[in-house]
Structure 1
């Protein structure tokens, strides 16, 4: 849907019900609380939160000892969820008890915290399946606005950066799903650079391309109450990247260790740019920076999307080992 010259504030004032989907899996859905609070302050009557079927979890019943990392996420199917209500082949309504073999996704933790339904969209059907699943979610909540909430940087990658991004396929499939809807769609970025996937210089350059193309719809600052709520729910579910959103809001800029990618983690540089939430036109993001998304828009399976990204020289996170034991012996 074309947004014309509308701003983020215009879209919020026009919306009666909004859906916020965590863009990259894991704890992105939790950070959606910041957008939810802002939308309610803008007068949106109903806001539903959820995410995608993407978790960095260990095998059922298995702990994560020191020296063992989960590198490749599990982009699971809706059929893998127990105690959830399927509303589409690629979407489900989630409650506090929803789980996959005893493992609760972040969306179930969010449902417990909010004491209300959340949702999950699966990428197993490629961009087309994800779009259809998200459409079912929008219809379920009678929403006229969808926001895809990302944390960090990787969605704003071209695929030609010096250091390749590690988890971009899931993000790009979500972006494709959001921009394919018949309602207004917005891509939001919180915690500018918090995932340490893009070098800050390249993230800044890529963001500049989106702005130069007219893709900035607006920015907003979280309220202290929303930050406190986010911090509280992050105590209930491991969220190593989203936690830096809170740190930035409280002025803890500079270098931070992100415990992802290896036993030593990575280094994120937090700056004042990580305090506000940036809101962009998804279509302009794709046209100006994330151009590879256009190549996967018509995919009907995750495997097809993986193959296309491999052909583009991009290593999908779904094709690498999940649990990696770095311990010797």
Structure 2
């Protein structure tokens, strides 16, 4: 049985108990904050320190120690490629710095638990980074599974209770326009077809607002599907397994911000005699020899605003960060 022990003392949460000493809180049953704010600040500071060390030296294993889910999958592949081309690391790397951080900490029962750190960085101008951290048990490390980047005016306000706790939403059974657990499938269905499939009262073509990650991406695929030199086929797959499981927090408008991942493949077949040119990082992630075709596998980490069902509005992408994770030549 997984249990968390809290010792009563000057810094402990006030509890009414008949005897002094320690009280056992069952983390798998009790409704408790996923983390304390001071601990969350330490998690973010450790993330910055370890991420900077790993990125400067292009150390894939160091990234794997602090990141998982879509974020970890993308960054591990990126660091692997950079290390292959620059085994000495990056001497010119500029350290990532966080400032003006705030923490969205829900009360949760059971495991895994999560929280979201929202902060400004020395990257991306005035945009805010939202890092979703999760851990599977009290003895496991906090891992950053998702990253979303958005300007402050694009972000809805998160709902908090009188104690300052955010509200976590489950993957199904919510009052949202699309269930958090269905977003990955709805999105990949939309990219593959855009046709109404009748699920959840609205097909994928009706679910999302137009933008770079939706209508813009479909248009780009349509234009590049057939050129004078190549024929490209696209395939998109949902993924909500394990540390790809979506994370959702209530917003003050009754909707939610949801983080979710998705997988995307493209297979380009070339005409006879065509000479394919690959950049160094893609070459480093490519197995086989691309004589007639190359298949690229990418992972996307998405942050969306989902309206309440009663609003009748569409899901809006706030951030979509995509990275190449592997390639195969044939």
TM over 0.5: no
Of Structure 1 and Structure 2, the greater strand share is in 2
TM-score (norm 1): 0.25
TM-score (norm 2): 0.25
Of Structure 1 and Structure 2, the greater helix share is in 1
Q: Which has the larger radius of gyration?
A: 2
